[in-house]
Structure 1
Amino acid sequence: MPPDVAAFTDTYLPTVNGATYTIRTWRERWLGRGGRMDVVYPGSSHDPDTGEHPVRSLPFPFYEGFRLGAPTVPDAVRDIDIVHAHSPFGVGLAGLRLARRTDRPLVASYHTPAAEYAGYLAEGWLMNGVARAGNAYERWFLDRADHVIAPSDTAKADLEARGVGPVSTVANGIDVDRFAPTDAAAFRARHDLPGRGERPLVGYTGRHGFEKQLSDLVRAIDGTDAVLLFGGDGPARKTLEEQVAGSDADVRFLGFLDREELPAFYSALDVFAFPSPVETQGLVALEAMACGTPVVGVEAGALVETIDEDATGYHYDPGDVAGFRAALDRALAERDRLAETCLSRRESMGVERAVDALAAVYDAVL
């Protein structure tokens, strides 16, 4: 039988992001294999299923939808075999406490660099100081884990260069049954978008953080006939809207999209654009590819390996807006060929392979 696992996370439903999606999907697959994977998370409007344990929480004042959870260990998870912390903060600290008190192994996932959160707490020169403090704290937490999981070889190498270990690569994986090409006509009509072939659609969805360099995407689109779609929200949105107001770019802000809408969103696009240099894997890029949409991304972070150059999309150098535009133009011109390659690799992106690798890590720490 698979071991009993308690996953501790500082972000969970109804908030939708890469970490939330991964935890939820891994849990479903783990239960399907006859195992137990309980989730401890900040209490929210999400109606918990059996095995989901909300703890007391407060709204996070700098980003709507996130909550700060108390470092509380529910009695229901004290008998598990493995503690899996998906974040190093409040609820993640509760996982560390449980592992220490019960002498259970602690596995820690590296979903998002702690330094990314600096943009929520400070601006200007203060942001660098907050980022350094975040990195130091993150290292302290990871050093207390028996095993660390990174979602890409790039993220694994980064952690090992910082002296963290042992580290294994376990890709997050995606649900290829959900993320598949779909008829996007209704989505286009609902959001008053041009039909296929009328004007190119380029899009991004995810957190609108300053560290994502989304302003480069607006500059790359400015002066072209493409329509740029932003799904999601975040602290950089107001700045982006001000930037758009001073440009000739045709940019539409769609806000948060329901998970059920995402396959249609990706399928509606001609190209998915990803300027973020700080990704540990870039799950949304894989989702787009699984829907047959090529990706243009910055040649930095995990996107170096997530995007297969001239096969599933193209890269450009960090900060090179002209290079970004040229890569977008090339991907648009070669969309059909790139889309075929994306679709041919769908199975390799699947979550079942990820859960196989996760099970191997659990076996190792036991």
Structure 2
Amino acid sequence: MAVHTSHRVGVPWEVRPTIRQAFDEFAPDVVHVQGTFAICSAAIREAKRRGVALVATNHLMPENLLPFVPAPDWLKRIVKWWMWKDMDKKFADADILTTPTSRSAEEMAKNGIQTPIRVISNGIDLQQFSGHGSHGASDVPTVLFVGRLAKEKHVDQIIRAIAQAVHSANLRLEIVGGGEQLPMLMALCDDLNVSNRVRFLGRVTDEELRDAYLRCTMFCMPGTADLQSLATLEALSASKPVLVANALALPHLVRDGVNGYLFEPGSVSQLADRMVRIATSTRTQLDAMARASRAIAERHSIEKSIDTVESLYREAIGGQSGRRSGGTSREADELREIEAALPALIWFRQGEPA
């Protein structure tokens, strides 16, 4: 059921029969859900009913969705409280619970998630955005944003910072992505007289995205509800300095003054100052930031994440088998046979735009 240009809602009475059919057809050894909404909730319920090993990963903060709730603030606070309670209840059925960063794990625990949480990066393909040099192809220092044009991304702050920074540096801004904020952002560019400095590229191909990363001078992510920010990881893998809001899990991707800068959420003047610092840096300074960004990206290689997740599947299967059998040797042998072959896996994922 469509409720928004980039968000969909699956209703339980339609989802559950489909999930049951998927279990019948695939007979999974382990189920990995990526949240707690209708599709994932049905998968959790069916895995529990059938005694199938369950791994759960949380990518969601209530702040990602509350801007789309047409309700007063007092009711949104109740919805936020209910969302955390619902996550705690459903994640309690998981054999293993993960999230992408230690900061997101802390936030989950602070909001009542009682199940032990393991930290596993989403991972990044280090080859996809790799390139040479720290300047890219742009003659003019260019700031890049990649992501949904949604309220919690605060893209307007980048535009306002550009309007301030151009008095000290010749800067341009490229924005990749679409969303409900696009008309407002375009109007803001007109109001601030920076339309000639801002390019809205919309949704792009993989190759066009790679080119955007490689030609930019710096990447900016002012969002305040990111549990990791794959776009920022992509910029790091492209060896670019990054400017990120000092909020939630973003700071773990930045060594302030080494591979970029942090700025306080909402501080347009501070963001503009950091833009000018990078735009006026020497080639030697930019090259040093490029190397530092790439080094941070390498800690998040997709190969490492895949190896870790596969080991969790085997652990979850082992734990579930032991609970069902009481640890008999026959079933232990069967478990070893399962582990020898890659287990059949259903990966239920909620639709979640980048």
Q: Does 1:115 align with 2:63?
A: yes
1:231 counterpart residue number: 176
Q: Does 1:247 align with 2:192?
A: yes
Task: Please point out which of 155, 179, 199 is paired with 1:214.
Answer: 155
Letter in 2 for 1:208: L
What runs of 5+ residues in structure 1 fail to find an aligned partner? Answer: 1-57, 189-194
SS in structure 2 opposite 1:296? strand
Distance verdict in 2 for CA 1:141–1:208, change over 3 Å: farther
Q: How does 1:316-331 map to 2 (within 5 A)?
A: 316-331=263-278
User: CA–CA distance in 2 between the matches of 1:280 and 1:344?
Assistant: 20
CA contact (8 A) 1:175 1:351 kept: yes
2:238 counterpart residue number: 291
1:298-332 superposed Cα distances (whole Å, 9 cap, x missing partner)? 11111110222222211011221111111222233
CA contact (8 A) 1:201 1:271 kept: yes
1:173 counterpart residue number: 123
CA contact (8 A) 2:133 2:287 kept: no
- Identity in percent: 25
What displacement does 1:174 show? Answer: 0.7
2:21 counterpart residue number: 75
**Structure 1 stretches of 4+ moved >6 Å:** 182-185
Q: Does 1:302 align with 2:239?
A: no
CA contact (8 A) 2:253 2:296 kept: no
Moved more, 252-261 or 267-276: 252-261
User: CA–CA distance in 2 between the matches of 1:167 and 1:358?
Assistant: 14
1:61 counterpart residue number: 3
SS in structure 2 opposite 1:149? strand
CA contact (8 A) 1:118 1:128 kept: no
CA contact (8 A) 1:307 1:315 kept: yes
Letter in 2 for 1:62: H
Letter in 1 for 2:189: V
Moved more, 267-276 or 155-164: 155-164
Task: Please point out which of 110, 118, 125 is paired with 1:161.
Answer: 110
Bigger Rg over Cα? 2
SS in structure 2 opposite 1:108? strand
1:28 counterpart residue number: none
Question: Going by fraction, where is strand more abundant, 1 or 2?
Answer: 1
1:363 counterpart residue number: 314
User: CA–CA distance in 1 between the matches of 2:298 and 2:152?
Assistant: 31
User: CA–CA distance in 1 between the matches of 2:72 and 2:130?
Assistant: 41
User: CA–CA distance in 2 between the matches of 1:123 and 1:239?
Assistant: 21
Higher relative contact order at CA 8 Å, sep ≥6: structure 1 or structure 2?
A: 2
Q: Calculate the TM-score normalised by the size of structure 2.
A: 0.77
Aligned residues: 298
CA contact (8 A) 2:134 2:290 kept: no
1:272-306 superposed Cα distances (whole Å, 9 cap, x missing partner)? 00101111011111111111111100111111102
CA contact (8 A) 1:62 1:121 kept: no
What displacement does 1:80 show? Answer: 0.8
Moved more, 255-264 or 269-278: 255-264
2:146 counterpart residue number: 205
User: CA–CA distance in 2 between the matches of 1:116 and 1:315?
Assistant: 21
What displacement does 1:98 show? Answer: 1.8
Letter in 1 for 2:206: R
Letter in 2 for 1:241: M
What displacement does 1:256 show? Answer: 0.9
2:101 counterpart residue number: 152
Question: Going by fraction, where is helix more abundant, 1 or 2?
Answer: 2
Task: Please point out which of 312, 317, 342 is paired with 2:259.
Answer: 312
1:196 counterpart residue number: 138
Distance verdict in 2 for CA 1:131–1:241, change over 3 Å: farther
User: CA–CA distance in 2 between the matches of 1:76 and 1:182?
Assistant: 45
Distance verdict in 2 for CA 1:346–1:274, change over 3 Å: closer
CA contact (8 A) 1:182 1:263 kept: no
2:331 counterpart residue number: none
Q: Does 1:91 align with 2:39?
A: yes
CA contact (8 A) 1:274 1:296 kept: yes
CA contact (8 A) 2:134 2:240 kept: no
CA contact (8 A) 1:232 1:257 kept: yes
User: CA–CA distance in 1 between the matches of 2:206 and 2:85?
Assistant: 34
Letter in 2 for 1:162: N
What displacement does 1:68 show? Answer: 3.3
Letter in 2 for 1:73: I
What displacement does 1:118 show? Answer: 1.7
Distance verdict in 2 for CA 1:248–1:353, change over 3 Å: same
Q: Does 1:282 align with 2:234?
A: no
1:272 counterpart residue number: 219
